[in-house]
Amino acid sequence: MTKPALTLLLAAPRGFCAGVDRAIKIVEMALEKWGAPVYVRHEIVHNKFVVDGLRDKGAVFVEELTECPDDRPVIFSAHGVPKSVPAEAESRQMIYVDATCPLVSKVHIEAERHNENGLQIVMIGHKGHPETIGTMGQLPANRVLLVETVNDVQALDVADPDRLAFVTQTTLSVDDTKDIVAALQTRFPNIVGPHKEDICYATTNRQHAVKAIAPKCDALLVVGAPNSSNSKRLVEVAANNGCAYAQLVQRATDIDWRALDGIKTIGLTAGASAPDVLINEVITAFADRFDLTVEQVETAQENVEFKVPRVLREPA
């Protein structure tokens, strides 16, 4: 039986970013250095396949430090943690390694600097997301106000409209955030923004790549986890840029083949915490069903690499 022809437009960049790569490496190096078990507060990155693989090697994932024993190392996830978490670890004399992405740490430092300058902070982010919790947790509660939408800007109750600064979660939609920033600047003309864009290079690059292929696709799949902010934003970007059917899948077994019946062109990308093995698995699943032509569409090249903490590079 002849397979139907299908063109697969493969977005590049896609998949792992430098911060995710570093965080996974930190857990692996900690297991090599101290042996199992090593505790990890929150999922090290938002991907079940990655977390399950590290769990098989001896990592124990917990939500709070209270679930960790004092005598085993603990790692803080790539999303960052409130200041109270390392403070508690130090008070318990625990060995801990902070795997916070350096680009998230940059936002933490910005927020602290603005606070020291007497500015109240507006954070653009998603309520309940670990990165937002971590960033807001760098400062006293009344010093940071959270906005998620343009409408939230209108409802803000600030201490002094002339003494404000804003920071953003690093994994937001570039377009949505632009609208929220514009609303903030309209309502508070003196609000201070970051010296350099808070949304990280990897989030921006992946969204630009999706914008390039979305109008050419009958459907587009994003490989990523349902709790991954940057992956969900890629689905939204595809839908907002001319793709009629955009879906998030964790792996090939999640693909709804009936929804793809009759398509001629499929787009494929992956969130920043999705490994290559899952992307390749999806490509193989399409090759099994279609006479497949794969075309990579590259909109940027990435060569960023972040060093792991010194404690892991020193002998045990």
CATH number of the domain enclosing 256:
3.40.1010.20
Identify whether residues 48 and 116 lie together within a single domain. no
Identify whether residues 210 and 294 lie together within a single domain. yes
Identify whether residues 160 and 238 lie together within a single domain. no
Identify whether residues 68 and 81 lie together within a single domain. yes
Which pLDDT score is estimated for 141? 82
Domain boundary among 49, 78, 101: 101
Take residue 253 and report the two structure tokens written for it. Answer: 């077994």
Average pLDDT for residues 266-275, to the nearest whole number?
96
Residue 311: inside a domain, yes or no? Answer: no
Identify whether residues 97 and 114 lie together within a single domain. no
80-139 tens-digit pLDDT: 999 999 999 999 999 999 999 999 999 999 999 999 999 999 999 999 999 999 999 999
- CA distances, 8 to each of 76, 238, 265 (Å): 37, 15, 6
Residue 153: inside a domain, yes or no? Answer: yes
Identify whether residues 256 and 170 lie together within a single domain. no
Q: How far is CA 15 from the centre of its chain?
A: 11
Tokens 């990523």 label which residue?
224
Identify whether residues 77 and 127 lie together within a single domain. no
Take residue 248 and report the two structure tokens written for it. Answer: 């998030």
**Domain count of the fold of the chain:** 3
3-48 tens-digit pLDDT: 999 999 999 999 999 999 999 999 999 999 999 999 999 999 999 9
Identify whether residues 232 and 258 lie together within a single domain. yes
Predicted confidence band of residue 197 (pLDDT cuts 50, 70, 90): confident
Residue 287: inside a domain, yes or no? Answer: yes
Residue 310: inside a domain, yes or no? Answer: no
Residue 309: inside a domain, yes or no? Answer: no
Contact indicator for 245, 37 with CB cutoff of 8 Å: no
Domain boundary among 155, 187, 219: 187
Q: Residue 24 is part of which domain span?
A: 18-101
Predicted confidence band of residue 300 (pLDDT cuts 50, 70, 90): very high
Predicted confidence band of residue 247 (pLDDT cuts 50, 70, 90): very high
Which pLDDT score is estimated for 231? 95
Contact indicator for 14, 209 with CB cutoff of 8 Å: yes
Is 281 part of the annotated catalytic residue set? no
Residue 315: inside a domain, yes or no? Answer: no
Residue 244: inside a domain, yes or no? Answer: yes
The CATH number assigned to the domain holding 31 equals 3.40.50.11270
Q: What is the largest CA-CA distance in the chain?
A: 71
Predicted confidence band of residue 195 (pLDDT cuts 50, 70, 90): confident
Identify whether residues 210 and 160 lie together within a single domain. no
Residue 304: inside a domain, yes or no? Answer: no
pLDDT at residue 227 tops 80? yes
Identify whether residues 124 and 112 lie together within a single domain. yes
Identify whether residues 126 and 153 lie together within a single domain. yes
CA 66 – CA 234 distance, rounded (Å): 35
Domain boundary among 101, 126, 156: 101
CA 95 – CA 100 distance, rounded (Å): 16
pLDDT at residue 316 tops 70? no
Q: Which helix (H) or strand (E) holds 176?
A: helix 174-187
Identify whether residues 149 and 220 lie together within a single domain. no
Catalytic residue chosen out of the listed positions 63, 131, 148, 281? 131
